[in-house]
Structure 1
Amino acid sequence: MDRSLDEFVGGSAESAESGGETDDVDDTPEHATETGENGTDSKPSLTVNPAESTMDWTPGGAACGACESTVERRWRDDGRLVCIDCKNW
């Protein structure tokens, strides 16, 4: 069945051309938020933490965060980068 694109935008071509009223359509985007009295979003903002690597590879080597030995590969453990021997697996 052929259908007019006007059927999908909330009104018919005839009513749009004649200046008649169209169907009641909420044109608010789905992702829109309500605003408070001061014009700010009334919903709380989300806090996004930056991504952290789980492993680091340094060709020249870097110090382990626990034993201070110089190693090329270190893994994240309790917020610091440590060698394989100091990593709590």
Structure 2
Amino acid sequence: MVRDRSLDEFAAADADAESDGANRDDSNRDDADCTSDARAGEASDPSSESPDGETAVAADSPVAAEVPDLPDGLPLRPAVSTMDWTSGGAPCAACGTHVERRWRDGDGLVCADCKEW
């Protein structure tokens, strides 16, 4: 199995890349460059009040992208993990062995030996 890597390793690489641009001096920045609408937060609001009193959402806004088009009768199911790591170990749903890593197999979390790959 491949060695696990911490997200801190990736964050350190991103921080190094950002630090190159972080040292620039923004003290001469003119706040007049920002529009009054942007300062008030009006331009960043993806929704607006329609004449009917309902909230309208722009088609290209992130809010509109989050709502999937589901055929009638299909339920929206919440996301489910595919793998679980428990520091003290947890029992495999199939064999009962305590393991730190378990993978979803059907409705339960099982050890690597019981998982149908």
Q: Normalised by the size of structure 1, how large is the TM-score?
A: 0.49
- Structure scoring higher RCO (CA < 8 A, sep ≥ 6) equals 1
The structure number with the bigger radius of gyration is 1
Q: Which has the higher helix share?
A: 2
